[in-house]
A and B are shown apart, each in its own frame.
Chain A
Amino acid sequence: EAQVTQNPRYLITVTGKKLTVTCSQNMNHEYMSWYRQDPGLGLRQIYYSMNVEVTDKGDVPEGYKVSRKEKRNFPLILESPSPNQTSLYFCASRTGPGTGGYEQYFGPGTRLTVT
């Protein structure tokens, strides 16, 4: 089954304690992205990656890091989480340009609370 998986699904942590949210897709997609969703603000793109070792900042990259060492994985790293990073996070993937269509597959979401 084609899917994007994220782990953990729920996480409560304390300020300053480094954490990683994993994201993996089994569709051989080139493009992967991370979003955060906050009430009244919709989804905002944090980082995206166009292929292995190619990443770029989205609209709200501050406080986050990413890496893309393998095509299927795109982890989101919070080196020193702060309460304003409490949010619902989605990972997404899709095929690259020229392949037609644009169905972006979203993971199930990770609800992060930083106290």
Chain B
Amino acid sequence: EDKVVQSPLSLVVHEGDTVTLNCSYEVTNFRSLLWYKQEKKAPTFLFMLTSSGIEKKSGRLSSILDKKELFSILNITATQTGDSAIYLCAVEAGWGAQKLVFGQGTRLTINP
């Protein structure tokens, strides 16, 4: 059974801290790994990763994939209260079909 596990499930930090969110996976025929940010509504796309060791970066957010160890991390530096959200990791897997498996999400709270 395909599985995506995120850790921690919940994290509370102070503004300005750096955080690292983890995502590990066990799936059949890995295609890509995606990160989403979910505030009080629908998830919004952050990154798609397909190759090991290549960092994707957008402002204070960055992510990297390790296909040998089957995990990815999402880093957020100099956190701001607006970064408070649920961060979702999803893996596209399977054969010739659009199967997307999500992790449980990490609820990140940034306190001022």
Contacts and interface: CB of A to CB of B under 8 A. Distances in A.
Contact of B34 (A50, A102, A108): A102
Interface string A78-93: 0000000000001000
Nearest to B43: A106
Interface residues of A, number: 24
Contacts of A33: 98, 100
Interface size class of B (residues with CB under 8 A): 20 to 34
Given A41-B104, A90-B42, A58 B32 contact: no
B48 A45 contact: no
B25 interface: no
A44 interface: yes
Interface of B: 4, 6, 9, 32, 34, 41-45, 48, 88, 90, 92, 97-105
